[in-house]
Structure 1
Amino acid sequence: MTHEGLDAAAKSANREANHLRALFIHHGLLPYQDPYLARFETWIDDKLRHLPEEVAKPVAQFATWHHLRRIRSITTPEKSAQAPVHSAKQEITETVQFLDWLWETHQRTAANCTQQDIETWLATGSTTRKAIRTFIVFIKNTGTNHRVDMGHYTAKTRPAITQDQRVAWLRELLTGTSESLPYRVAGILLLLYAQPLVRVAKLRTDAIETNESTGNMRITFGPHPVPISEPFADLLREHLKGRPNLRTGSDAQSPCQWPLRSAHGRPVDVPAGGQ
């Protein structure tokens, strides 16, 4: 029973093998291995397999020397590789499309592409093409191509919701019954405390404390706890008493606010974007 053995089994039963891997890691039967990082390595191999050498070689260098090495260095049992892997996949995919167009259209590679090539590519497609910037910086810093450059992209500002909208959504989450309780709690944490959904998804039960004499509750997002007012406090107590998915591979003592959906490390019932 090894990671290598499960990798072999995953070729014919990927979902089942990954579920068992997560269970074994959770119970200490296998050493820790971030599932997103492991799948990212396989994803890179699959991405390169059918590319022409003129495209595959610079993409392999970019994916391995820049992204894979960086993600390995920052990934720990407490810090999942999910977000950086997602970002890296986007940049690699856009880079593949750019280099494939460059070779098919102009028979040029990363080493001899021009500034005009980059400007043309950016001007004739969607804004997602701007994700090639990291690759352009990479080939310039590694000496592959000193003649090209690409500045930072500044996203257009988006208007914030009004106070009336925020209050209306809070009222719906506090009193409505159309959504599940975990979803409502997550939404209130976002609207009431301005917490990003990624942080909400990672919130642990030990971040919440209750004064036994007064019954007052506090929650800690940073160095200092902040009070939890009613009626949200009552809703949060109800959620803590009946957290979902405690019959899966995670045990009933799990400190996660949203225990595992399966054993893949995904929090349940968190609104889209929580990852």
Structure 2
Amino acid sequence: MDSGVLPHVDRQLMLYQRWLSERLATIEGPEHRRHLQHFATWHQMRRLRSMAEKGPLGRSLTSQTKQEITQAGAFLTWLADRGHNIEHCQQADLDAWHTEKLATRRPAQTFLRWCMKTSRMSRLTLPPQVINQDQAPLHLHRRLTILRRARRLVLLYAQPVTCIVRFTVDDVLDAPAPPSPSGWQIRRPLCRSPSLTSCGPTSSPASTCPTPAAEAHSGSSPAASPDSR
């Protein structure tokens, strides 16, 4: 191939074809083997060859393709244990399949969509991808709320950004605050962690984080700060 006598073949594609032949040989049911062979030939290999023409295939791509075959075979076996074949698969079967080990079984959805598209099974509903709240992207209004609260920490307590980013939940006390001129309530942060008494690079007064006791001694109140002027 290097000399141009033979056509170039992508290495990852060649390795996958070898793996596929060995994998299909381990499938006992001829009907299951036929479905997987058709899926690999008419869907996976077509996609891989098209991508290989544009550049070398990555190992992660072929690994994902192997997972699709593995989980598709596991689904066919699981479905047969329930007394059904792919042609008579019902919505209750798909729901039960995805109830456990969703992340592990998700690669089978490529095979299931292909079966629906080629009329090998009824058109059913696959569960959507679940996004945890911690992984969901912040919406614009949520970003603006965070920025407003950070700005108040800078204005009310003269805290630099290097100090604000080190705040944790344990460093903040929730205290009732009067309605703001904008008509919405804000949480008044009162720093209480001794480790944050000097957050900046120097221990100047501007970088000192006031404690509730210091506020009570001075008689000052955060409500009488620049926001209430």
Name the TM-score, length of structure 1 as normaliser.
0.44
| Corresponding residue for residue 46 of structure 1 | 22
Distance in 2 (CA, whole Å) between partners of 1:87 and 1:152 is 19
Distance in 1 (CA, whole Å) between partners of 2:5 and 2:108 is 41
Give 1:100's match in structure 2, choosing from 77, 92, 105.
77
| Corresponding residue for residue 11 of structure 2 | 35
> Is it true that 1:85 corresponds to 2:62 in the alignment?
yes
- 1:180-191 to 2 correspondences below 5 Å: none
Distance in 2 (CA, whole Å) between partners of 1:76 and 1:147 is 33
CA displacement at 1:143 relative to structure 2: 0.8
| CA distances 1:62-84 after superposition (whole Å, capped 9, x unpaired) | 11111111111121373325343
Distance in 2 (CA, whole Å) between partners of 1:79 and 1:39 is 13
Structure 1: which 4+ aligned runs deviate by more than 4 Å?
A: 27-30, 157-160
CA displacement at 1:30 relative to structure 2: 4.5
> Is it true that 1:62 corresponds to 2:39 in the alignment?
yes
> Is it true that 1:149 corresponds to 2:149 in the alignment?
no
CA displacement at 1:48 relative to structure 2: 1.2
CA displacement at 1:158 relative to structure 2: 4.4
Q: Which has the larger radius of gyration?
A: 2
8 Å Cα contact 2:10/2:56 also seen in 1: no
Question: Structure 1 vs Structure 2: percent identity of aligned residues?
Answer: 26
Q: What is the aligned length?
A: 136
> Is it true that 1:123 corresponds to 2:104 in the alignment?
no
Q: Helix, strand or coil for the counterpart of 2:34?
A: helix
Gaps of 5+ in 1: 1-23, 165-275
| Corresponding residue for residue 185 of structure 2 | none
Residues 78/127 of structure 1: CA separation in 2 closer, same or farther (3 Å cut): closer
Residues 109/31 of structure 1: CA separation in 2 closer, same or farther (3 Å cut): same
Residues 82/76 of structure 1: CA separation in 2 closer, same or farther (3 Å cut): farther
8 Å Cα contact 2:16/2:62 also seen in 1: yes
Name the TM-score, length of structure 2 as normaliser.
0.52
Residues 91/99 of structure 1: CA separation in 2 closer, same or farther (3 Å cut): same
**CA RMSD between the two structures:** 2.6
Distance in 1 (CA, whole Å) between partners of 2:125 and 2:136 is 31
CA displacement at 1:159 relative to structure 2: 9.3
Q: Helix, strand or coil for the counterpart of 1:111?
A: helix
Residues 107/45 of structure 1: CA separation in 2 closer, same or farther (3 Å cut): farther
| CA distances 1:80-121 after superposition (whole Å, capped 9, x unpaired) | 253432221111111111111111x12322111111111111
CA displacement at 1:46 relative to structure 2: 1.2
Q: Kindly provide the amino acid, as one letter, of the partner of residue 18 in structure 2.
A: T
| Corresponding residue for residue 168 of structure 2 | none
Distance in 1 (CA, whole Å) between partners of 2:72 and 2:20 is 13
CA displacement at 1:152 relative to structure 2: 3.3
8 Å Cα contact 1:115/1:147 also seen in 2: no
Residues 39/74 of structure 1: CA separation in 2 closer, same or farther (3 Å cut): same
Q: Kindly provide the amino acid, as one letter, of the partner of residue 72 in structure 1.
A: R
